Amino acid sequence: MPGEPTPAAWEPSATVPSSLEVDGRCFLVRVEVPGEALEVDTAAGERVRLGRWGFDAHLWALDRHASVDGQGLHFDATGFAREVMRGLAVPAALMEELAPVALWWAASGGYEAGSGLQEDGWLRAGAVRARLRPWTFVERSRALNESTLPSAGGGQEFRLERYLRLMLRASVVALEPAGVELSMLDGATTVALLDAALALNDMGARDEDSRLKSPDVDNPRLARVTLRLCKALGWTPSQVWETPAAEVDRLLALLEVAEPPAPRPARVGRAPSLADHPDAVVIQVED
């Protein structure tokens, strides 16, 4: 049946050779368990074991080193990298030397490349297979509300960790193998799921979106036509905009025939005056 996983579809597989080149530097490595443990040899011949980078650690690190304001998203890559290396138990004296391979390990976990999001919503990411769906407007609005908290300075503070966690809870509707939960995932699998969910939930800006926000004369007509067809057919704006132009013309012509004409506005009556009385005598004074 379509969408049914094969027994090995989700099983992690390591494809890391014993010699790995990252950022132009060569490292001798050995993957013990994909996403769980990696051994790497230093330049001095010392073997260092890098530990596990997990789901919660990844989200909290993003939260601490990313901020959002009126200018957009700001990310402290250096601070984030140091927190990742501390989480992987990289010795302080070896952080500079092992930074490339440590960050590669946290992001990839030594897994083979994922499958990409399929038409049925299934994705192979790291240690799991997951089924995703776009979140709804209500779910996104609730996530924004729950992720915006009062700050110490009296303003508001956006918590990225909370927002991303709620997005994944809404968008990831199935995980395999059975019994796996989001909080149990390693960091590399978390990165793959976040990338897929963000891409699924952000379809990108369209030309029509930009036009509706610009002061062009034709924009009110585009808005009126879009809303009219959405109301009549139960469509979304994207469905209207993706319909061939000739079909939109036909639909509008059908609506002109099928829809009753709008009632003419009733004339606004005025309050009766003394001059309206049948026995009134009107005296007009001219200059």
Reading the chain (287 residues) residue by residue, the pLDDT tens digits are 444 433 333 344 444 558 888 989 999 999 878 888 899 999 999 999 999 999 999 999 999 999 877 787 899 999 999 999 999 999 999 999 999 999 999 999 988 887 788 889 999 998 899 999 999 889 999 999 999 988 887 788 889 999 999 999 999 999 999 999 999 999 999 999 999 999 999 866 666 666 666 666 567 888 888 899 999 999 988 888 888 888 988 999 999 988 776 666 666 666 666 666 666 665 666 65
Q: Do 112 and 253 reside in the same domain of the chain?
A: no
Q: Do 128 and 68 reside in the same domain of the chain?
A: yes
Q: Which domain holds residue 38?
A: 19-201
Separation in Å, CA 219 to CA 209, 226, 231: 10, 11, 18
Q: Do 161 and 61 reside in the same domain of the chain?
A: yes
In a domain, 264, yes or no: no
In a domain, 280, yes or no: no
Q: Do 214 and 85 reside in the same domain of the chain?
A: no
DSSP 39: E
Q: Do 92 and 219 reside in the same domain of the chain?
A: no
Q: Do 40 and 148 reside in the same domain of the chain?
A: yes
Burial of 60 (0-12, 13-18, 19+ CB in 10 A): middle
In a domain, 275, yes or no: no
Q: Do 192 and 212 reside in the same domain of the chain?
A: no
Q: Do 126 and 235 reside in the same domain of the chain?
A: no
Beta-bridge mates of residue 172: 132
Split into its structural domains, the chain has a count of 2
In a domain, 274, yes or no: no
Q: Do 30 and 157 reside in the same domain of the chain?
A: yes
